[in-house]
Structure 1
Amino acid sequence: MTAPIGVPQNTRSRRTREALLQAARSLIEEDGFDVMTLSAVADRAGVSRRALYLHFASRSELLTTLYRHLGEAEDLATSLAKVWAQKDAVGALDEWARHIARSHPRILTISRVIERARNTDEDAAELWHLTMRNWLTSCRRLANWLDKENRLADPWTPSAAADMLWALMSWDVTERLIVDRRWSRKTLGSHYAAMLHATFVRDSSPHQ
């Protein structure tokens, strides 16, 4: 099995790359987006700037790689795969709520920093828009699946349902419930699923 494109196969190089990505993440989470310069990352990782440039030619490249690495480190793809493995759209919607509850708290801090920096930092804006596009793609898939199985409740259209599902993924929701109100991830997942079901799912009883 070959290593993914862009991932060094030399053990020492892989360790250096990992150290740089961890340094970038910790700098953003602790001090904000503005301080995350290539020099600061190199210093935090304990490597030379020359070594950094062997892995990342620019700040933008480093941040894009960090975005992908964040998903890998927190195993977000495995969590999301459980959504699409469901046998029907309603099951997928319920699992979607649990996926949000599992994954969003893990990346809340860095995501909030990127969100706040997007209006003043081009790299942050690019990462933010990429995240939003990915969210909306998944929400459209869910809404279209519900509609295809005739389980999308009135008055929702697939487009409107996708937009609302996307809006409900707001980091504000996660932060207020998990951080401010101290909900557990399990509680968030079950209550979020109940809300989505009550809002978007058509009753499948015979009289419908």
Structure 2
Amino acid sequence: MRSIDSPRNARSQRTRDALLAATREILEHDGFAALSMAAVAERAGVTRRAVYLHFTSRSDLVSALFPYIAQQEGLAESTNRVWAAADSVEALREWVRHLARYHPKLMAVDRAIEQVRADDADARRHRDTVNEAQLGNCRRLAEWLHRENRLAHPWTVEEAADVLFGLICTELFGRWLETREWSTGDLDRNLWAICRAVLVRDQDGGV
């Protein structure tokens, strides 16, 4: 049975991945309004029935998109470097590196979601999921800085988390990377300079 089931499972996983890849491509190139089960089927080269075998609705499809993109772009590996840091300041430095290498890959999808978030429940649900994960990481960083007495005055943990959360902004990154033509290296270096100057208390008590 195992020799029969394994190829079937592998094919099923490949189909599911193809559907999610098609969903991402539609969002990146055509926008959220173009996303439908029929459009995903056509983009993936399968029948609509095949789509519904894996996802019961567009809402189900969109809900699966965040973990799919996270896996494809190595989110866990990237953030693991943050939490493996020796101290809170190095963790914050790794967080900035993570943003510079990871977030630009998601900007097209993020823009598509944001354009319709106010009027589309599926888009809003996706955005809320992403926001919750990002804010949780920002709060964890701020708490770590606070525990080690490295959080600069006058920030509270919640305020520092809000500052970090606010810096995860596609519009802001777009202005820097596209309008001002920064490289991702520029983004990493300059975003770290901002975070270091604003949020980190020197060990002698200064900012």
Partner of 2:136: 137
Percent identical across equivalent pairs? 46
Partner of 1:5: none
What is the letter of the counterpart of residue 128 of structure 2?
A: H
Counterparts of 1:140-179 in structure 2, within 5 Å, are 140-179=139-178
Backbone CA RMSD of aligned residues: 1.6
Alpha-carbon distance change, 80 to 9 in structure 1, aligned in 2, over 3 angstroms: farther
Counterparts of 1:112-131 in structure 2, within 5 Å, are 112-131=111-130
| Residue deviations 1:87-109 (CA, integer Å, cap 9, x gap) | 10000111111110010111110
CA shift for structure 1 position 207:
8.3
Alpha-carbon distance change, 207 to 74 in structure 1, aligned in 2, over 3 angstroms: closer
What is the letter of the counterpart of residue 168 of structure 1?
A: L
1:45 and 1:170 mapped to 2: Cα distance?
30
Partner of 1:182: 181
Partner of 1:4: none
Tell me the matched-pair count.
Answer: 201
Counterparts of 1:24-173 in structure 2, within 5 Å, are 24-173=23-172
SS at match of 1:10: helix
2:146 and 2:27 mapped to 1: Cα distance?
40
Alpha-carbon distance change, 187 to 43 in structure 1, aligned in 2, over 3 angstroms: same
SS at match of 2:67: helix
What is the letter of the counterpart of residue 28 of structure 1?
A: L
| Residue deviations 1:171-195 (CA, integer Å, cap 9, x gap) | 1121111111111111111111111
CA shift for structure 1 position 77:
1.4
CA shift for structure 1 position 9:
5.9
2:23 and 2:206 mapped to 1: Cα distance?
57
What is the letter of the counterpart of residue 117 of structure 1?
A: V
1:12 and 1:160 mapped to 2: Cα distance?
47
TM-score, length of structure 1 as denominator length = 0.92
1:129 and 1:151 mapped to 2: Cα distance?
30
Partner of 2:11: 12
TM-score, length of structure 2 as denominator length = 0.93
CA shift for structure 1 position 11:
2.3
CA shift for structure 1 position 33:
0.3
2:9 and 2:42 mapped to 1: Cα distance?
22
More helix by share: 2
